[in-house]
């Protein structure tokens, strides 16, 4: 089944404790991206990747790191989480066609930083 | 001013009504997306448009590139259409910008 998976789905952590949220897709998509969703602010892009070893900042990259060493995986790293990073996080992927094709979203990761 | 504006923010309709949600943007784009998010939280892509019109079942999406405007129409609305509908645009660099969403409630 074609899908984007994220782990963990729920995470409660404390300020300053490094964490990684994994994202994996099995569709051989070139494009992968991370978003956060907050009430009143909607969805905002954190980082995106056009292909292996290529990453770019979105609208809200501060406090986050990403890497794209393999095509299928795009982990999101919070080196020193803070309470303002409490949010719902989505990973997505798409085929990078001429007009950027539809996005396939993961199920979301709800992160709480105390 | 947000680069992607949606209207209305909230919409309540009776079952069977024709629904229109609007999206205006102020930046150059490669594509425009309509997404659906149900109360459970999952996000599904409904349409990706770069020009013209697309139809899928009871859903129709149109885009006017010159006017920088897109509409999502739902014909014969049903309570299962209740969700948040989100407009997003892909910039030429590959980044995405989102509208704040339209919360639709369809009453039986």
pLDDT digits (tens, 9 = 90+) for A25-79: 999 999 999 999 999 899 999 999 999 999 999 999 999 999 999 999 999 999 9
Q: What is the pLDDT of residue A29?
A: 93
pLDDT at B1: 65
The nearest alpha carbon in chain B to A56 belongs to B95
**pLDDT at residue A13 tops 80:** yes
Contact B95 A45 (CB under 8 A): yes
Q: Tell me: the pLDDT tens digits for B29-82?
A: 989 999 999 987 799 999 999 899 999 999 999 999 999 999 999 999 999 999
Are the beta carbons of A99 and B31 separated by less than 8 Å? yes
Q: Say if the Cβ atoms of A88 and B41 lie within 8 Å.
A: yes
B64: distance to nearest CA of chain A, Å?
A: 16
Q: How far is A91 from chain B (nearest CA, A)?
A: 10
Higher pLDDT, A15 or B40: A15
Average pLDDT of chain B to the nearest whole number:
94
CB contact set of A1 (below 8 Å; sequence gap of 6+): none
Predicted local distance difference test score (pLDDT) of residue A1: 83
Contacts B93 to A, Cβ<8 Å? 56
pLDDT at res. A103: 87
pLDDT at residue A102 tops 90: no
Per-residue pLDDT band at A14 (split at 50, 70, 90)? very high
Residue A104 above 70 pLDDT?
A: yes
Q: What's the pLDDT score for residue A68? A: 97
> Which residues of chain B have a CB within 8 Å of the CB of A105?
35, 42-45
> Is residue B27 less than 8 Å (CB to CB) from chain A?
no
**Which residues in chain A are closer than 8 Å to B88, comparing Cβ atoms?**
43
Among B41, B45, B95, beta carbon nearest to A56: B95
pLDDT of amino acid B40: 78
Note the pLDDT of residue A99.
52
Residues of B in contact with A96 (CB under 8 A): 94
pLDDT for position A33: 95
Asked whether residue A100 carries a pLDDT value surpassing 90, the answer given is no
Looking at beta carbons, which residues of chain A come within 8 Å of B41? 88, 107-108
Give strand pairing partners of A62: none
Out of A5-19, A96-110, B58-72, least confident range: A96-110
Q: What's the CA gap between A105 and A55, in Å, rounded?
A: 18
């Amino acid at each position: 089944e074609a899908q984007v998976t994220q782990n963990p789905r729920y995470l409660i952590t404390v300020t300053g404790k490094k964490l990684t949220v994994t994202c994996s897709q099995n569709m051989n998509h070139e494009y992968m991206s991370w978003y956060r969703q907050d009430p009143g602010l909607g969805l905002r892009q954190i980082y995106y990747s056009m292909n292996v070893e290529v990453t770019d900042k979105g609208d809200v990259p501060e406090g986050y790191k990403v890497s794209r060493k393999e095509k299928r995986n795009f982990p999101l790293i919070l080196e020193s989480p803070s309470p303002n990073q409490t949010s719902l996080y989505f990973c997505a992927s798409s085929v990078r066609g001429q007009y950027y094709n539809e996005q396939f979203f993961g199920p979301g990761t709800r992160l709480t930083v105390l | 001013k947000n680069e992607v504006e949606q209207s209305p923010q909230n919409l309540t309709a009776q079952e069977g009504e024709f629904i229109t949600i609007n999206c205006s943007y102020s930046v150059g784009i490669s594509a425009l997306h309509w997404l659906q998010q149900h109360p459970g939280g999952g996000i599904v892509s409904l349409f990706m448009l770069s020009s013209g019109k697309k139809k899928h079942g009871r859903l129709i999406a149109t885009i006017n590139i010159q006017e920088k405007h897109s509409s999502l129409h739902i014909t014969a609305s049903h309570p299962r259409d209740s969700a948040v509908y989100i407009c997003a645009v892909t910039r030429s660099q590959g980044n995405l910008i989102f509208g704040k969403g339209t919360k639709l409630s369809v009453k039986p």
